[in-house]
Amino acid sequence: MSLGRKVAAEYLGTFWLVFGGCGSAVLAAGLDKVGIGYLGVAFAFGLTVMTMAFAIGHISGCHLNPAVSVGLLVAKRFPASDLVAYVVAQVAGGITAAAVLWVIASGKTGFDLAGGFASNGYADHSPQGYSMVACLVAEIVLTFMFLMIILGATDLRAPAGFAPIAIGLGLTLIHLIGIPVTNLSVNPARSTGPALFVGGWAIQQLWLFWVAPIVGAALAGVAYPAIAGQPEQAKGTAA
C-alpha cells in the first residue's frame, strides 16, 4: 500500500474519531432528559475507533493518533520513515473535524466556545477540578494501557479478527475512567483540533495532551515486547 493511501486513510479515520467523539460531547452529552452524558461519549469514542479499525485497518493500520504511531514505532511495529506523514495527516484530520463540528454547533442559538468545545484541560479546566499532576499521571497511565491493549490485540499470536473490538472497547473503558479528569485525550490530534478553536487556556494547556500520551505510548512500546516477546512478524494494525 502506498504512503499516500495510508495517510489519506489516517486523515479520514482521525476525522471520524474527532467528529464522532467530540461531536457526541458537544452536540448530545448535555441535553436535558435525552443527553447521553459521560457514558454515551465514552461509547462514541470507542465506536469511532472500532468502526474505522474495520474500515481502514487493512490500509493504514488505523492509528488515528500520533501517540499510537509513536508507541508502535518504539515497539518496532511501524517504520520511522512514515511517522511524520502519519502525524501530519492525523492532526489535519482532527482540525478538519473540529472545523466541521464548529460549523454545526454554531448553528444553534446560544452556542458559546466558552463551554469548552470538548477541549481537554487540567486544574480549573478539568471537568471535575483535578490538578495538573493528577491529569498528567492519568493521561500517561491511560495511554500506556491503551497501547498495551493495541499491541496485545494485534500481536500475531492473538486471536485473529478481534483486534478492532478489543481496541474499541479499550478506548471506551479508558474514557469512562478519564473523562471526569481531563475530558480524556490519550490522543494529541484529538486534543489539538478543539483547542485551536477555543484558544486561550486550551492552547496553553495543550502541551500536556501531547507530552503525556506520547510518554505513555512510548513506555508501552518498551513494556509490551519485554513482557510478551516478539513474534516472528508483527501485524502492524492498530487503532
Backbone angles phi, psi at 128, to 5 degrees: -120, 20
Cα–Cα distance for residue pair 43/47, rounded to 1 Å:
6
Does the pLDDT value for residue 56 go beyond 90? yes
Q: Which of 214, 191, 190, 211 is CA-nearest to residue 201? A: 191
Are the CB atoms for 201 and 121 separated by under 8 Å?
Answer: yes
pLDDT tens per residue across span 74-86:
999 999 999 999 9
Residue located via cell numbers 487540567: 122
159: DSSP letter: P
Query: Which pLDDT value is given to residue 232?
Result: 54
Q: How confident is the model at residue 234 (pLDDT cuts 50, 70, 90)?
A: very low
pTM: 0.93
Residues 6+ apart with CB under 8 A from 17: 45, 48, 49, 52, 64, 65, 93, 94, 97, 187, 190
Cα–Cα distance for residue pair 119/113, rounded to 1 Å:
10
Range 206-229 average pLDDT: 97
Nearest 10 degrees: CA dihedral of 109, 204, 90, 131?
Answer: -90
Domains of the chain: 3-108+116-228 (1.20.1080.10)
